[in-house]
Amino acid sequence: MHQLAISKRVRTPTSVNMYKKIYEKTDEKLKEFIKQTSMDTYQQEPKALQVETVFNLARGRNTFLLAGTGFGKSRISEMYFKMIPKMKRAVVLVLNPLDSLGDNQVLEKEKAGFTAINLTQMNFNKTTAEAIMNGDYNFIYLSPEIFLNSKSFDEVYFSTTFQNRLALIVIDEAHMVYIWGLVESSTSKTITSVHLPIEDYALFRPCYGKLGPHLLFRNDKPILLLSATCRPVAVQGIMKSLKLNDDNLCQP
């Protein structure tokens, strides 16, 4: 992988930023710090790909990670989050195709010592919105439908208060962006196993193909895309759909 420049996303003047002593580290020292953080937190040697992914996010780069179930993808956003001062009350926003996935991930985050909520149409109300604005939740899980179609969530997401807390956006099952882009554009009348494993048919979400415009508004914070399977043509399609065709996209 060619060497990428440090993105301006490393530090933005109006938002949460990582500790100065961390972002000023050399690449080698930063990777050593990430490894040690993982050891201290999980009592395990981190995988090289985990370290590389956290490193690229710390350098402000939009990052696409292809890794299977059991890899430990959830730890990446956790390690990144730990680089930000607690007093900043930072927020990581995670887009999930299924509410049940969010429920499981909330339990995982709470066990790891983080605050988290799986935002659904049933629990999103004025009280929840105020808690989100106050930075009460470190991790917020939600479906693309709420992210794109809820006027109440728009009021939260586009507010200066929330944008100033936003540290990272994670798109889980990112291959769905490509699949639904094909469906919406009628490029593919039949989705076959060439594009999508049979077990993922239940994950169809039309809104996954329409995330791009909303994601342009994120206070210039990085995006982490996660998928277990994605062909090169799909990666390019996802980048185009999400309007992330820039020189700072990294695939570790």
Using 70 as the pLDDT threshold, list the residues of the chain that sit under it: 1-14, 99-100, 180-209, 245-249, 252
248 touches 62 (CB < 8 A): yes
In the DSSP assignment, the letter for residue 125 is S
Q: What is the pTM of this model?
A: 0.84
Q: Give residue 192's pLDDT.
A: 42
CATH of domain 17-241: 3.40.50.300
Q: Give residue 183's pLDDT.
A: 46
Summarised one tens digit per residue, pLDDT across range 194-209 is 444 433 444 445 566 6
Domain assignments of the chain as residue spans, ordered by start: 17-241
Q: Give residue 39's pLDDT.
A: 96
155 touches 210 (CB < 8 A): no
Helix orientation angle between 232-241 and 175-185, rounded to the nearest 10 degrees: 70
Q: Give residue 182's pLDDT.
A: 55
Q: Give residue 205's pLDDT.
A: 53
Please give the angle made by the CA atoms of 164, 166 and 167, to the nearest 5 degrees. 120
CA dihedral 150, 153, 154, 160 (to 10 degrees): 180
Instruction: Report d(CA 41, CA 30) in Å as an integer.
Output: 16
